[in-house]
Chains A and B, each alone.
Chain A
Amino acid sequence: MGASGTHLSDVGGAISAHGLGGAKDLPIPSELAIAGAVAALVISFTVLAVAWREPRYDPATSGRPAPEWLDRFVSSTALAVAARVLGMAFFLYVGAAAVFGQDTLINPFLGTFYVLLWVGLVPASLLLGPVFRAISPARTISMLFAKVSGVREGEGLYAYPARLGYWPAAAGLFSFVWLELVYPGSTDLGPVRLWCAAYLGIMFVGSALFGTTFLARADPFEVYSSLVAKLSVWGRREGRLVLRSPLANLDTVVARPGLVAVVAVLFGSTAFDSFRESTAWLGVVQEMSMPRVLPDTLALVAFSAGVGVVLTAATMATGVTPGTPRRALPDLFAHSVVPIIVGYIVAHYLTYFVEYGQQTVIQLSDPFTRGDDYLGTADLQVNYWLSMHPTFLAVTKVLAVALGHVVGVVAAHDRAVKLLPRRHQLTGQLPLLLAMVGFTVGGLYLLFAA
């Protein structure tokens, strides 16, 4: 009997080569979830086919005007300036930790980047609308640059090429998920700092060339946040603040080239995140002689491209009217994937966000790992209630995925009724429905297995 050499180490001391956070969620303990979710999709499609024959959402008329005082408050310069000042202050605070802090996992820069920013922008945008663009340091600094150099607000040297659409954002999002999920040094300070520096550099140059339109199309965080914000109740119509149902709001997503790529990267990477920890994949990559970054990169590309190809094929496989070219359809239907993405984000990252988010708030008080307590949060304790209730967690996850898919089916149905010729309105949706059923089964299977 050898002695047990087990001891607790300091939280995250020098341990690297592992993503942020400790324990992960348990696999969902039931097969019936898949059957339930597929049934929900098929039933919803059937109900829609009978009861929903005319398009119900029209960006030009939907939404109820918000109370005058609320509109005045939300549109006020004071609020805009306050948001920018807050965003910049937080950015500089965390930036100081990134530049002057120590290279350990308890440096709050990492938790802020991967948890508060990347995961947190989803609930923030769902509740408050397009928050990231209101606080975005890249946008604030670009606006200051423009002011100093005397350029009129929002203007650049050239007009942003319409053909580019959201493609730069898709590329930016891919580089983020690659850094987070594939790159072995994802929790080392240096590479993450480099990524952020490159991101900011590209945003500054882009906005100088193309004005703030560049940020709305190419900033991965702004595009992601603004897309999710379309599921909030906040919208604008002719400049006025309106309250819309999330479905009506979702319908106001403007289809631009590359929108399918954006949703494909967001969706595919979330699926890959489950897949990469499955025992089957681990068994394969850990037996290979090459480092796992290569097969992981290929798998991430395959998942993202796979989602994109399936969506493109499924939306184009229908009869069309002369007014809508077939190749425009994938981007016109891409908005229906946004609620599905949000559903999977809830399913994958709820515990991570709640528990590692608390951890990050605690770490933020001590940005230089010297035992400081700048914000007064250093002595708080993380509440692990969610981890301690795995059944509640599992049910929440399945509900989130199912709800996301059902909202997606409704959004796609309304769009189909609006765009497709009458005799193709139902049959034209079947390939997309099939794709969504496939995504549900695949997504829930991954939640089970990993």
Chain B
Amino acid sequence: MSGRVLARLAPVVLVLAAALSACGGDGDTDPPATSQSPSADGDTDPSATSQSPSTDDDTVAVTVTREGDSFTPNGERVELGVDQTLVLTIDADEAGELHVHSTPEQDISYEAGASEHEITIDRPGVVEVESHDPDLIVLQLEVR
């Protein structure tokens, strides 16, 4: 009985083995912490790269501009290291709040005019930085 079952499963096992080796090998060659440019991940939006943040070793700097109800950047991705400091320069024409959807949540309240804020994220993942009035995703932090 078990021999027959084995024979039945042979093709499945073979294929799975092929799939596993294809993907498994792939996983090994990936260094867990890379700082490849976001466009390499198949980013189709050209404007995403035009807003590239300036990076040095310790911090990543991003400028957020608010004009009325519109924000720049507009939901774009920024790469950030675990525990690396993100320096957020907010240039707003009115006061408001940004929410950083890490766990736990972080709030950034800003005044009208230019202000500078620092945040760090202590776990890998994609963390959204949102405005809630209006409801918009301003940034997505790709924390590696």
- A interface residue numbers (CB < 8 A to B): 1-13, 15-18, 21-27, 29-33, 35-37, 39-40, 43-44, 47-48, 51-52, 56, 184, 245, 247, 277, 279-280, 282-283, 286-287, 292, 351, 355, 382, 384, 387-388, 390-391, 394-395, 398-399, 402-403, 406-407, 410, 445, 448-449
User: Interface digits, B107-144 against A, CB 8 Å rule (1 contact, 0 not)?
Assistant: 11111001111110101111110101001110010111
Contact A8 B117 (CB under 8 A): no
Which of B18, B41, B105, B109 makes the CB contact (< 8 A) with A22? B105
The answer for the CA separation of A390 and B143 in the assembled complex, in Å, is: 10
**Nearest CB in chain B: distance from A170 CB, A:** 30
Q: Which residues of B contact A399 (CB under 8 A)?
A: 19-20, 23-24
> Which are the 8 A-B pairs with shortest beta-carbon distances?
A282-B75, A36-B22, A23-B125, A22-B103, A40-B19, A2-B115, A44-B15, A395-B27
CA of A9 to CA of B77, assembled, Å: 24
Task: Report Cα–Cα, A384/B104, bound state, in Å.
Answer: 12
Which residues of the other chain, A, contact B103 by a CB distance below 8 angstroms? 11, 21-23, 355, 382, 384
Whether B106 contacts A5 by the Cβ 8 Å rule is: no
Query: By the criterion CB–CB under 8 Å, are A5 and B109 in contact?
Result: yes
- In the complex, which residue of chain B has the Cβ closest to the Cβ of A13? B105
Q: Is B102 an interface residue (CB 8 A)?
A: yes
What is the CB-to-nearest-CB distance from B16 to chain A, in angstroms, rounded to a whole number? 6
Give the chain B neighbours of A390 by CB distance below 8 A.
32, 124-125, 144
* Interface residues as binary, B10-33 with A (CB distance below 8 Å gives 1, 0 otherwise): 111011101110111111011010
- Please determine whether A40 and B18 come into contact, CB atoms closer than 8 angstroms: yes
Q: How many A-B residue pairs have CB under 8 A?
A: 209
Q: Inside 8 A of B126's CB, which chain A residues have their CB?
A: 23-27, 277
Tell me if A283 and B41 are in contact (CB < 8 A).
no
Residues A5 and B101 in contact, CB atoms below 8 Å apart: no
Residues of B within 8 A of A282 (CB): 74-75, 137
Q: Enumerate B76-120 residues with CB–CB distance to A below 8 Å.
A: 76-77, 99, 101-111, 114-119
Tell me the smallest distance from the CB of B93 to a CB of chain A, in Å. 16
Does B15 lie within 8 Å of A40, measured CB to CB?
yes
**Would you give 8 A-B contacts (Cβ < 8 Å), ordered by A?**
A11-B104, A11-B105, A18-B101, A29-B41, A30-B29, A43-B15, A282-B75, A398-B27
Instruction: Out of A2, A279, A280, name the residue touching B140 (CB < 8 Å).
Output: A279
B residues touching A (Cβ–Cβ < 8 Å)?
5, 8-12, 14-16, 18-20, 22-27, 29-30, 32, 34, 36, 41-45, 47-48, 74-77, 99, 101-111, 114-119, 121, 123-128, 130, 132, 135-137, 140, 142-144
Return chain A residues, CB-CB under 8 Å to B143: 23, 26
B119 touching A6 by the CB < 8 A rule? yes
How distant is B18 from chain A, measured CB to nearest CB, in Å? 5
Most chain A CB atoms below 10 A, which of B47, B99, B102, B126: B126
Chain A residue nearest to B109 (CB atoms) is A5
Contact at A406–B23, with CB atoms within 8 Å? no
Known: A29-B36, A30-B27, A282-B137. 17 other contacts (CB 8 A): A5-B115, A6-B106, A6-B119, A17-B130, A18-B99, A22-B105, A22-B125, A32-B22, A32-B26, A36-B26, A39-B18, A43-B18, A279-B45, A292-B135, A395-B23, A406-B15, A449-B42
Kindly identify which residue among A21, A23, A402 contacts B19, using a CB–CB cutoff of 8 Å.
A402
Whether B19 and A279, one on each chain, are in contact in the complex, defined by CB atoms closer than 8 angstroms, is no
Given contacts A43-B18, A47-B11, contact A8 B43 (CB under 8 A): no
A4 touches B18 (CB 8 A): no
Q: Contact at A22–B101, with CB atoms within 8 Å?
A: yes
Q: Is the CB–CB distance between A449 and B123 below 8 Å?
A: no
A350 to chain B, nearest CB (A): 13
Please, which residues of chain B bring their CB within 8 A of the CB of A287? Answer: 74
Chain A contacts for B136, CB-based, 8 A: 286
Measured between C-beta atoms, what is the minimum distance from A251 to chain B in Å?
13
Which of chain A's residues has its CB closest to B8's CB?
Answer: A56
Q: Could you tell me if B15 and A47 are in contact, using CB atoms closer than 8 angstroms?
A: yes
> Contacts A25-B126, A26-B126; is A406 near B19 (CB within 8 Å)?
yes
B35 to chain A, nearest CB (A): 11
